[in-house]
Structure 1
Amino acid sequence: MLPNTTAKQLLLWISILMLTLQLSAQVVIGTPNLGFSQACANASFNDYSASFIFSPENALAPSNQFTVEMSDASGDFSQATVVFTSNPGAITISPATVSFSIPETAAGENYRIRIKSSAPIATSAPSAPFASYYKSQDAPFTINNLVETAAFCSGGSYLLTIDNPGTGSNDSPLNYPALTFNWFRETGPTTSEFITQGESLEVNSVGTYFVETNYGTCTSNSFSNRVTVTEVTNGQATAAIVSSLGNPYCPEQGLTTLSTLGGNSYQWFKDGAIIPGATNQMYQTNESGTFSVQVDLGACSASGSINLESLLFDSSINVDDVNTIEEGESLTVTITHLANQPIFEWYLNDNLIADATSNSYEVSEVGDYTVVITETQGCEGSLSYDFIVEEALDPFPAVAQIPNIVSPNGDNINDTWIIPQQFVSGTNTEINIYNNRGTLVFKSNNYQNDWPQTDLGLNSINQVYYYIITTTDNKTEKGSITIIR
């Protein structure tokens, strides 16, 4: 037996050795692979993923946390934003995939991310650069009061501005102070040239102009209507008139706003007679008739007219053009409307449904449907909606073999990779799909027969992916998947 002092010294040396080994433990984190090419987020979508490898796995302490840092728009991490932090000890197996959301301040073309671990401390190399924008306003908006034409006198100019607030449901991007705007002039049916940035554009050359919210290379729905600007060299220009409620319109909806191009002064007429006091760019009315306007442009003038007619009520339907129901299920179809004393008629395959006379109908059969709404008081007339109800496709059909061809072209045939039922949802089978560079692009333990879930960026060349299927009893299936157009 060792003397007491010797035993204590030995325990001390063992403790020092263990601490030294722990302090010297290191982990190497590979460069993160992005699960996307651009991060173009908005209020309804802001979910992105990245995968990474690390080694050795046993170097991680039980308290380790992985974080994902996002650089600024130039790729600089000096003031990085943490967009993901794992729970302590949650990630222990390499490779790993993490999901995160981009900050609402993101706006640039050269963001990067990197992965960091806390125990032991390690940092990966930055990812490839990517464009990242949070689209705080992602809806069409109006300029020039939605008037599609404008004119300037020779030697002069015309100022195009973004409407704020504009009429109707216009979501003016000027309500979002951080946004900037790019103005363009059309150069062809599908081409345009950049003019300048700003909230307005002073035009002194003819052409068709529009403006987009500046979201870089991210596609967006935040764009304006087109305005065609002409030059008046002599005589009068044409002053287009736009009705905010459309034309025809229904007076039951209230006043409609008539708008024309911008000028120095205005005079409105109804059926050829001057409307006293109607001397602004916009005029409101709930009448029908021929409305015209004279616009003073300075060295020249413009005039225009509109034959304003009444229309029916507003209405909407709560289903899509094509809908699906499973056997034994039903679909409640409802018409929301502003009709006075309406009558409803429902048709299935062009046959009147005798007992369907209200604004709602419980659909339990597949087929082609039509509903006709007739207003019997006020703006008398009818509107109709057509929709189709189909039998829902079985998401887990019985297939005998694992397919090696997928054609995601939207024809409901081989659009996704449908595999035998023993590998899908509820079997806890692990599905891993890699691209031809060996990068993991999909992983699931609850596969829903729904890959690919996003556009794979197909070109004229078929793409090949590779899969590994691992069951709970460690049996594997391997093979390739060819994605064809």
Structure 2
Amino acid sequence: MKPNLHFTLLFTIVLSLFGSADALHAQTLNKPEPADNPNTGGNSIWTAACASESFNEYFVNFTWNPPLVNSDNSFILELSDANGSFSNPVELVNDNSRNTDFDFEFQFVLPTDTRGEGYRFRVKSTSPAKTSPESDAFPMYYIDYDSPLLISPNGDGNIPSGGTIQLCDGSSTVLSPHNITNADTYQYNWYKSSTLLGEKGPSLTVSSPGMYYVEIDYGSTCSGSANTLSNTIEITIGASLGIAINNPSKTDLCSGETVDLEANIIDQGLTYVWYKDGVAITSPTVDNDTYTVDASVAGFEGDYTVEIDGSGTCLELSAPISITNAGDFTVTVDNPNNIVVLPGQTKTLSVSTTASSPLYQWYKDGVQITGATTNSIDVTQAGVYYAAVTLSGGACSSTTVNSEQTMVVSPAAFEINIDYATSYTSCSNTSIVLEVSSINAVAGDGSKTDVTTDLISSFSYQWQKDGANISGETSTTISLTDISENGNYVVDAALTSYSPASNPLSVKLLVNETLTIASNGTVSCSNTDLIDITTSTDLSTGSFEWFRDGASVSTTEETLRVSETGVYQLVVQRNGCPLISNEITISPFDDSLITLDSGERVVFPEGSSKIVRATGGTAYRWLDMNNNLLSNSDSVTFTDEGDYILVASIGNCEITKSLTVDYLETFKVPNVITVNGDGINDQWVLPNSYSNDAEVTVTIYNEKGEEVINETNYQNNWPSSTTAFAKQNEVFFYKIRKASEVLKQGTVTVIR
């Protein structure tokens, strides 16, 4: 067979195996397609997924092209959102058993929250990481509700007799389903006389005649397979009867009073529904034309309406009648809830009210106080006091409201409590305010009453530190801002004969100082390469400690000299509190930090030049083999072949990299070799722009599309033996790549 025929045959085989010549160097993942369900016995490929509890099994077909994926690969089938977006995909299947199967099917189930018209699939491989094109868009729904809906006015569950509602001209009603939970999580198809309306929500306001019904919107395909079509409500238009509520005898009620609300249309066999503030308070009842408002029921105030319906009349709602509370007034206590009365002292209690012409009566411990009939009272005895306020005139003259209670105490002693005014942590805060937080009156039996509001301004105060008075600190608070103020604090208080001392509080402030450390390098080159870590803070007057990775390494060296990698920190003691520095990380030297954009082998045509650039260093020196400096920047221009050296620095570390510069060989890739052992053209020799390069991959395929070699840094050593060839003349296909770029491809004929 002639060589060109060999090539044609080989290329055809390769195309059949790999799909295209470009696919030889990478897998191609094809977009997934819907597939038939083999378990249903049919041959119909689905075009929409309508899943439910009773059926939820679907298949998609997936194909991909060689070469093989890695052995640890998984193929993952993902589902988009309802709009086709994969910003947050759902993983449907993760399969690691199909790594040698180029055509297979994923079996999956729809998630139960799937509802939409624009879902798409894609397939991802994990090793190597690739993603297929997205599939076409498909309607997909999980039908979790599959029963007929029931609709009624306002979804109240009362379907009108005969399914007919007659509206008065110009009025409207709201239709809603009443037998489905979480109704607002679905979309709906509302119909009027078989015409689909635009409303998709769980309710529909109607005002025109027609036959109305609804179904859950499961899409153009799946809605028909669900069973949610509702009952039909017929809306007709009739003449208004002019329903209204007759003016009641009164609309401003006192507690315990009642008033009857009466409809102006009675005894016609109509159905009535009464509403308060738009909410039904009665069920539909024939001739229920009267409703009694009871002011003894809490919350009776509001707007009342009545709705009528019936044969020969339209559904009609009256205008509202407002019922108010005539005896609604407030009573406010003007003094603190807890009050102290000291021996020989008098305190005044008082209340305020919004009542007009009120009457007052004070009580102590539940017993009426004779003569205490004004809005205030002077007290000298301990007890529980309140005022009863009564309306003296008007319709609700018997209405009485009691004030909140006031606790009056005569203490045996007082308890003063102090606390930190804000969040406080010892040796963390640089300032803090201490305050009198509460004052308790202590009875003879030990019981305590909080009287802070009443007495905090009545006491006099003296703050003490470590048992000594602090000059000028006589208020309810003290502000501390310096470490010299660290110590134990109390406050002495005084009121007449009482002299309580507070609880103690300890204060340990951290010095308001920043401790900073610095180093003359952050990369350790070797165990003998020392890095100095220093601080500008004077360490001679106090104790300090150096730490590496949280462990102490020195308590004496003001300058720490280190060679070990790790995280370093300095801690200085300030008045019993640790002052902690910033961190410095010393990293091990890594010569891979220095990179060359050309690699360590540079090839270019003779007579031209090549710029090579280095990155990762802080300084550079480019030298030839005679140690002549070519450049001290991050780049150098080569014009001559030969061996060169780059000396790069990272901090105080140096690394040397060798480079070889070769002129580009101009001979072409051979397409015929003769493996007869005569030492001439026995091996396939590539130009130096392709061989001996770790970034160039050389792949050779036989006529079956099988790889013969696949290697980087090709050494011009194929074939290694003449015995590898069964035929006199064999044709092989080759591809030379650098990363994903195809540099060269073609055939080579081996003549034996």
- TM-score, length-normalised on structure 2? 0.27
Q: Which has the higher contact order (CA 8 A, sep 6+)?
A: 1
Mark the structure with the bigger radius of gyration: 2
